[in-house]
Structure 1
């Protein structure tokens, strides 16, 4: 999710994320310093869909529909063992990334008017941003430090709706993935 002042943080903007609290001890200090979204209230996360619908369009029927879409997916584990780079961006790579891609595809299919990242990219690459808008030397320092703090393993069982209030991002709802139902043999 965005954290700069380019209009991405207008009041009413929303996004769907998977929170990765297991990564916070490893990444918090770097994110607080180098990722504007952290300073704007966004926890360590992998984005499912940003931007999502404007807050004015999110009513109980939308919340129910998001819950239904997310509820079709099973909980999963993701492991963050290495860093990756985009220009001026350092991130952690989730493995496997397919479950994140499927969540993004499912939400984008349900709300085609909200393509991931506004349709800016041909391919959406799941990632946990550590630093953005930084030069290579700063990214290298962060990556060197992070190597000693990895791997991080996370259990993913929820997706969170975040809405920008004009100053900070606030969590407004959470949506659970489907729980596996244990069945007795022969039933």
Structure 2
């Protein structure tokens, strides 16, 4: 289980097809968030975050997540379109996005105390984060860097409960979609 440090949990769908790119960007910005856990996939589409803290990750909580994952059919999606949120986060938009939105809605319904992104944004847009706009980084420069890996043809098959903490990012539990 997680420590009582400054970490937080995230429910996420891993996207191994984009792992080399996202891992390289993570290494570039903050090596403290590069995970040594071989099950950890840095490239992901967030299903629900921030999620519950360590004391709330009880067997009944894990069983509720398992039930939602078990009733979610695995699905294919592609990643090709690069976009930027108003806050400067450069990301890829999954197509179709509906299965991700449905998974987020089911998890939020089960855990209403955990609104997506702490309720900071109106509409939740499923996405895979690539980078952030800065003096050296633009949507165009990011597109050019990731373009050799696009379009990425992917399959959502797993839901991970990940723990993010400097020097200790890891997977706490995983569930296969569809049981």
Taking structure 2 as the reference length, the TM-score comes to 0.84
Distance in 1, Cα, partners of 2:157 & 2:32: 22
Does structure 2 conserve the Cα–Cα contact (< 8 Å) formed by 1:38 and 1:44?
no
String of CA shifts for 1:36-81, please: whole Å, max 9, x gaps.
Answer: 5993436100000001111111111111111001111100011001
Please say if 1:39 is aligned against 2:38: no
Structure 1 residues 37 and 92: alpha-carbon distance in aligned structure 2, compared to 1, 3 A threshold: farther
Map of 1:72 onto structure 2: 71
String of CA shifts for 1:94-131, please: whole Å, max 9, x gaps.
Answer: 10010000110000000100000001111001111011
Structure 1 residues 27 and 167: alpha-carbon distance in aligned structure 2, compared to 1, 3 A threshold: closer
Structure 1 residues 14 and 20: alpha-carbon distance in aligned structure 2, compared to 1, 3 A threshold: same
Aligned length: 168
Distance in 2, Cα, partners of 1:145 & 1:106: 34
Map of 2:114 onto structure 1: 114
Distance in 2, Cα, partners of 1:121 & 1:142: 23
Q: 3-state DSSP class of the match of 1:143?
A: helix
Does structure 2 conserve the Cα–Cα contact (< 8 Å) formed by 1:27 and 1:146?
no
Map of 2:144 onto structure 1: 144
Q: 3-state DSSP class of the match of 2:73?
A: coil
Show structure 1 runs of 5+ residues with no match. Answer: 1-8, 180-187
Map of 2:175 onto structure 1: 175
Distance in 2, Cα, partners of 1:148 & 1:166: 30
Deviation, 1:159, is: 0.3
C-alpha RMSD over aligned residues? 2.2
Deviation, 1:145, is: 2.1
Map of 1:21 onto structure 2: 16
Map of 1:10 onto structure 2: 6
Structure 1 residues 26 and 14: alpha-carbon distance in aligned structure 2, compared to 1, 3 A threshold: closer
Does structure 2 conserve the Cα–Cα contact (< 8 Å) formed by 1:81 and 1:151?
yes
Does structure 2 conserve the Cα–Cα contact (< 8 Å) formed by 1:26 and 1:150?
no
